[in-house]
Structure 1
Amino acid sequence: MSTRQADQGNGSSAPRPDRELREALLVLAGLPDDSPALPGQLNTIVRLSAEVVDPVDFASMTVLAVEGHRTHASTDEVAEAVDLAQYAEDAGPCLLALHSGETVGVPDIGGAVVWPGFREVAWRYGVRASLSVPLFAGSGVPIAGLNLYARDAARMRLLIQRVQSCYHVGPTRVLPRMDAGSEQFLAGLAGALLSRDLVQRALGLLMERDTIGVGLAYRRLVEATDAGMPLTDTATVILRRHAT
């Protein structure tokens, strides 16, 4: 029995895994970049992404490392192998997403001629589509790239469109709804982006008020936040005080 079926049939009051994914993304957006809780949060997001987002078969998380890049967590050897192919060429959707801060969707891996190593290894393992999503913590700077790999390109195509619409500024067209896990994933991304905007507005206020740079403003925000509390709470207080 799948996780989704078990959750629907056992009558348990425990949080549903799809809602856990939404919360995990929101929590990540409110953590300081150097929080000791951050690695575990990334692990949770990888695991739940493959568990509850229907189009996704494999997932991994790419982070920057001393040697260049590394896979912080993965659901299986398939995701790990596809990541490694990109590190070997220092090119691929996961690296582009991490460094550009933009989502990178590959709806047809067979046509990804600009990344031959990625295309060859992914195709060999039966991966037909992918989506890489930049994730950020409290500073708003991408700290990891979430890589979602799928065997079914048709099912992945809508997820790519929906995720990219979350990051798009301006009018967007209405797209069909998806499964519960995908909708919670999308809600988590949308909420994380709102959290980032909130923190950035608070940082801008501190910079203007105290005539300081963004680095020092961020450090003051972190120092003003009690241990275990999200930076968004402190940012909200700062903005409310300014409004009054």
Structure 2
Amino acid sequence: MLSPTQEGRPEALRDALLVLAGLPDESPALPAHLRTIVALSAAVVAPVDFASVTVLAAEGPRTEASSADAADEIDLAQYAEDAGPCLEAVRSARTVGVPDVAGVVVWPGFRDVAWRYGVRASLSIPLFAGSGAPVAGLNLYSRDVTAMRQLIQRVESCYAGDSAASARLDAGSEQLLAGLTEALRCRDLVQRALGVLMDRENVAAGPAYRRLVDATTAGTSLTGTASAILRQHLS
């Protein structure tokens, strides 16, 4: 977890996303960590007015944390229809940007409630922990169409692996992008280590992931163990 001092820095958002990427999916620290990411996103990413995080549970989707009642209501409208950008992001493992809420046709419940709260654009981002599968969807809601459109484009490029230079955004948005970029690199590192374990020990992905978790000291990052496995493999 991040300290109160760390949470006061824009860089804390980058750090929080990077730490999340190295947590086991079932870590008891995961819910609190998601709450930290929501609070930081709403506090430091300039285009964002409200933020929330959606998780999928056996009883159905729920909002694990939100920065405002408006975010809760917009999420609930999507759960009621079992459709919307927040659900699509976590189910499909891809970013879902809505640059113009007024033009949404496929998710009328989302559109109507978002509009009622002044939200004109949104972005839902799949968040990954150690296994590489989405553990949540970060929902960013904005009243500023222009600024949000720029953020949507940058985040979509990040997830597509496009590192081409473009105009800088506000400091908080840049920290979000830095954190997502580094988290995706960590996911790639862990997946490569899992591939080594699967090949070396002749096991499927699930057992390989369990062995990686078991080999990692509690409270430390899976990425450190993954790096050690890859170094050993290449030596």
Query: Shorter-normalised TM-score: what interval?
Result: over 0.9
Match of 1:33 among 14, 25, 31: 25
Change in 2 beyond 3 A, CA 1:41/1:14: closer
Amino acid at match of 2:231: R
Q: Report the TM-score when normalising by structure 2.
A: 0.96
Correspondence 1:1-244 to 2 at 5 A: 16-169=8-161, 173-244=164-235
Query: Counterpart of 1:148 in 2: which secondary structure?
Result: strand
Amino acid at match of 1:207: M
Shift of 1:14: 5.8
1:17–1:48 Cα contact (<8 Å) kept: no
Aligned length: 231
Identical-pair percentage = 67
1:129–1:153 Cα contact (<8 Å) kept: yes
Q: Report the TM-score when normalising by structure 1.
A: 0.92
Give the Cα separation in 2 of the matches to 1:223 and 1:29.
17
**Unmatched segments (≥5 aa) in structure 1:** 1-12
2:22–2:130 Cα contact (<8 Å) kept: yes
Change in 2 beyond 3 A, CA 1:62/1:15: closer
1:46–1:75 Cα contact (<8 Å) kept: yes
Query: Counterpart of 1:189 in 2: which secondary structure?
Result: helix
Residue by residue over 1:12-66, the C-alpha shift from the partner in whole angstroms, topping out at 9 and shown as x without a partner, is x866521111000000000001111111100000000000000000000000122
Residue by residue over 1:111-130, the C-alpha shift from the partner in whole angstroms, topping out at 9 and shown as x without a partner, is 01110010000001100000
Give the Cα separation in 2 of the matches to 1:138 and 1:172.
23
Shift of 1:178: 0.5
Give the Cα separation in 2 of the matches to 1:193 and 1:176.
21
Query: Counterpart of 1:60 in 2: which secondary structure?
Result: strand
Q: RMSD across aligned C-alpha pairs, in angstroms?
A: 1.2
Amino acid at match of 2:159: Y
Query: Counterpart of 1:228 in 2: which secondary structure?
Result: coil
Give the Cα separation in 2 of the matches to 1:202 and 1:57.
39
Q: Which runs of 4+ in 1 moved over 4 A?
A: 13-16
